Amino acid sequence: MKPKYFTIPYVVWMSVFVVAPIVLVLFYAFTTSSGDVTLGNFAAMGRFLPVFTRSFWLAFVSTAVCIIMGYPVAYILSKEGQRVQRLIIMLIMLPMWMNFLLRTYAWMSILENTGLLNRLLTAVGLPRLGVINTPAAVVIGMVYNFLPFMILPIYSVIVKIDRSLYEAAQDLGGDSLTVFRRLVIPMSLPGVLSGVMMVFVPAVSTFVISQLLGGGKVMLLGDLIEMQFLGAAYNPHLGSAIALVMMFIVILFMYVMNRFGEGGEKAVGM
């Protein structure tokens, strides 16, 4: 059997589960319920501009928080011994083995008005926090669920940096801060960009987190698209147009990040 025949299952899979859905989205986005070609679906999206703005803003905030929290963890982890690294990586990945919905439900029980957080605050004499059903709760859920996708790519890049480069930088008179700023950060940039894409893309399209932790009060693009296909406001043509625009924006974002990463790698090479 020729090797090219081994690609047939892959081609069939991609055609059925990737290409065909995209073709259907394109068809619905540019047609009406009667099958006429139209651009009205895109024109009708103007009234949903606040939802677009909120979705990308919360995704940006969540990604920024993941970088702030994940980068130090990845850097410190790369400095530890092999046994400690394996243990911490297992602990980081352990929540990912649990069902996504269960993890989000757990945060509902923590953040709700009578939840664990407010009980602890009441026990120490502090006022309660109304976090549940707010954008802050949605961000917390995003950060919790997507933080491992930021830590692991950064760690995998930093841990591969040749130790002799650290020694050479120190021999040239660089202190720890200078070595970190001039060596570690530029060389870890590909891992950071990978983490940004792995966090930002699911964060901007999520709908389960916003429904459970936002209580339906924080509508994001994922919720809006779901409403068009499964909700009372059934309109798959408008939903397809929204999904297509979101897809285009995400692809554009990924392209810009890749170009930025290439520029960073050239700078490091120089």
Residues 6+ apart with CB under 8 A from 51: 219, 220, 221, 224
pTM above 0.85, yes or no: yes
Q: How many domains does the chain have?
A: 1
Q: Is the pLDDT score of 118 beyond 60?
A: yes
Residues 113-120: what's their mean pLDDT? 90
Query: Does a structural domain hold residue 126?
Result: yes
Q: Is the pLDDT of residue 54 over 80?
A: yes
Could you say which DSSP state residue 270 is in? -
Residue 45: closest CA among 198, 235, 197: 235
Both ends of the chain: CA-CA distance in Å?
A: 48
d(CA 40, CA 241): 9
Q: Domain containing 57 — which CATH number?
A: 1.10.3720.10
Stronger pLDDT, 233 or 194, i.e. the higher one: 194
pLDDT score of 250? 86
Instruction: Locate 256 and state its tokens.
Output: 């810009």
Q: Does 171 fall in a domain?
A: yes
Is 166 within the bounds of a domain?
yes
Establish if 15 belongs to a structural domain. no
**Is the pLDDT confidence value at 84 over 70?**
yes
* pLDDT (0 to 100) of residue 52: 93
d(C-alpha 32, C-alpha 43), whole Å: 13
Higher pLDDT, 254 or 124: 124
Alpha carbon distances (Å) from 111 to 97, 102, 212: 22, 14, 11
CA dihedral sign of residues 177, 179, 185, 191: negative
Give domain status of residue 1, yes or no. Answer: no
Tens-place pLDDT, residues 85-102 = 999 999 999 888 888 888
> Among 3-7, 92-96, 102-106, whose mean pLDDT is lowest?
3-7
Integer-rounded Cα Rg, in Å, for the chain is: 23
Q: Is 226 domain-assigned?
A: yes
Domain span holding position 137: 49-269
CB atoms within 10 A of CB 108: 16
Whether the predicted pLDDT of 24 surpasses 70: yes
Q: Is the pLDDT of residue 265 over 60?
A: no
Please give the average per-residue pLDDT across 133-156, as a whole number. Answer: 95
In whole numbers, what is the pLDDT of the chain averaged over residues?
88
Residue 247 has a CB neighbour count (10 Å cut-off) of: 13
For residue 108, being part of any structural domain is answered with yes
Q: Band of the pLDDT at 6, cuts 50, 70, 90?
A: confident
Q: Is residue 10 one of the residues assigned to a domain?
A: no
pLDDT at 267: 47
Residue with tokens 């810009």: 256
Given a cut of 50, whether residue 262 has pLDDT beyond it is: yes
- pLDDT above 80 for 47: yes
